[in-house]
Chain A
Amino acid sequence: GDSVTQMEGPVTLSEEAFLTINCTYTATGYPSLFWYVQYPGEGLQLLLKATKADDKGSNKGFEATYRKETTSFHLEKGSVQVSDSAVYFCALIAGGTSYGKLTFGQGTILTVHP
């Protein structure tokens, strides 16, 4: 079945550090890939997405590139801020499906210290 694996957390960084959260997937066909973020006390928000191989999704300084050859969609940010502290979820919608059933990774807790 379809699955998403994220790097284990929690991840703790100092402000302005470089962030990478690894995400790999297993899916049939050509899935669409997503990063969602959940800030403390808030609901899930779509951070960025990519729908085909080599696409780069970007938003709020975060980037992720859809790598079909390595089945990966790693999240990166060049300089994190305290306000980026949240839980990050990698997710996919399997290719060929007619509706948007999201399959999520287990989530990675990011804490950024001043």
Chain B
Amino acid sequence: GAGVSQSPSNKVTEKGKDVELRCDPISGHTALYWYRQSLGQGLEFLIYFQGNSAPDKSGLPSDRFSAERTGGSVSTLTIQRTQQEDSAVYLCASSLGLQGPQHFGDGTRLSIL
């Protein structure tokens, strides 16, 4: 596809369940970023990948959050034992190289009941 694709677009789940969010970056983009957009915290950086490596995980809110990227392409963000405060829109962006302009997907809206 032409842009960054995220799935699902919406996810509703019960507290305590695990969720997986997927990001398919623009073909050829080596850098991939995850952000979170919530009412209370605004837009926050979570983690980035250069290729399959994640050198900076400092933005992950807790050890319930993890992310991986395989084949230098698709990335998944996993939240274990979800809590209500995890409710937010999770945004993925990719760029051609680490200093290139970031192109954002439409996000996954996560709601924890």
* A binding-site residues for B, Cβ under 8 Å: 36, 42-46, 49, 89, 91, 98-107
7 A-B residue pairs with Cβ-Cβ distance under 8 Å, sorted by A, are A43-B105, A44-B93, A99-B99, A100-B48, A102-B35, A106-B42, A107-B43
**Of the residues A43, A99, A105, A107, contact of B104 by C-beta under 8 Å:** A43
List the 4 closest A-B pairs by CB distance, nearest first.
A104-B43, A44-B104, A99-B98, A43-B106
In contact, B50 and A89 (Cβ under 8 angstroms): no
Residue of B nearest to A34 (CB): B101
**Of the residues A36, A42, A99, contact of B31 by C-beta under 8 Å:** A99
Rounded to whole Å, the gap between the CB of B70 and the closest CB of chain A is 20
In contact, A102 and B45 (Cβ under 8 angstroms): yes
In contact, B43 and A100 (Cβ under 8 angstroms): no
Residues of B within 8 A of A101 (CB): 33, 45, 48, 56, 59
Complex alpha-carbon distance, A102 and B35, angstroms: 9
Tell me if B's interface is mostly helix, strand, loop or mixed: strand
Residues of A within 8 A of B33 (CB): 100-102
In contact, A45 and B99 (Cβ under 8 angstroms): no
Residues of B within 8 A of A105 (CB): 42
Given contacts A43-B91, A43-B106, A44-B104, contact A99 B50 (CB under 8 A): yes
Count residues on chain B whose CB falls below 8 Å from chain A CBs.
Answer: 26
Complex alpha-carbon distance, A43 and B35, angstroms: 12
The answer to whether B76 has its CB under 8 Å from any CB of chain A is no
The answer to whether B82 has its CB under 8 Å from any CB of chain A is no
Given A100-B99, A101-B48, 20 more A-B residue pairs with CB atoms under 8 Å apart are A36-B104, A43-B4, A43-B91, A43-B105, A43-B106, A43-B107, A44-B91, A99-B48, A99-B55, A99-B56, A100-B48, A100-B95, A100-B100, A100-B102, A101-B45, A101-B56, A102-B33, A103-B45, A104-B44, A107-B43
In contact, B42 and A107 (Cβ under 8 angstroms): yes
Rounded to whole Å, the gap between the CB of A45 and the closest CB of chain B is 7
Complex alpha-carbon distance, A103 and B104, angstroms: 15
Complex alpha-carbon distance, A106 and B37, angstroms: 10
Residues of A within 8 A of B4 (CB): 43
